[in-house]
Amino acid sequence: MVGGVWGEVGQRLELRRDAVEPVSALHRDPDKAAINTCGDTIFAMARCPDGGRIAADTVRNLLVVPLTVAVGYVVGFRFSSGAGRAVAMVALAVLAGTAFCFVTAWIGLLLKDVEWVQSVALMLLLTLTFASSLSVPVAGMPRPLRAFAAHQPVSVIADAMRGLALQPSPPAPWRTT
């Protein structure tokens, strides 16, 4: 679907054919970066082959994260920190997703082989996810794992999102209690 949308955008903007190249050509040329497009052909600017894909993933995250929050509300989750911090939590989730898209695109540019990119990205994803504070508090982990889990990006992002969603907002400086 992404390929169809980006191809349509390219046709609407009447991009010159010599200024764009199909990303699927990157799969066949070992001198260029490998980008997994699931068989789709995405027409992208030759100098920025990942721009369309990262933009599409960001738009998808803008739809999926609020949907996930809505499902959480259906099963009983409630924000205890106010609407402003809830919006900030959703924005942080989308921003973190986009940052990880850039990391995997960078891995693709370095490794230049689709299978290696998928393997390394999956290994990175599983390592950072399971060795984080997403499911288990870091304090309950064994000491060597605790040192890693406390200082890796997924734990930091999860703790920040948890703080935005569940901790009450700090009092305004001009209020006295």
Tokens of 60: 């998808």
The reported pLDDT for the residue numbered 172 is 57
Q: What is the pLDDT of residue 136?
A: 87
pTM of the model: 0.65
pLDDT at residue 80, rounded to an integer: 86
Decide if 15 is inside a domain: no
Instruction: Give the chain's domain count.
Output: 1
pLDDT, position 81: 81
Q: Are 86 and 165 in contact (CB under 8 A)?
A: yes
pLDDT at 69: 93
Identify whether 29 is part of a domain. no
Is 23 inside any structural domain? no
Q: Report if residue 120 sits inside a domain.
A: yes
pLDDT at 19: 41
Q: Give 10-residue mean pLDDT values along the chain (177 residues).
A: 39 39 46 47 49 88 94 92 90 94 87 88 91 88 90 91 83 54
* Domain-located, residue 24: no
62 belongs to a structural domain: yes
Per DSSP, 158 falls in state H
The answer to whether position 139 is within a domain reads yes
CA 65, CA 79: separation in Å to the nearest integer?
15
Domain extent for 79: 50-166
What is the secondary structure of 2-62 as a DSSP string?
HHHHHHHHHHHTT--TTTEEETTHHHH-TTS-----TT---EEETT-TTHHHHHHHHHHHH
**Is residue 72 situated within a structural domain?**
yes
Query: Tokens for 65?
Result: 């994260």
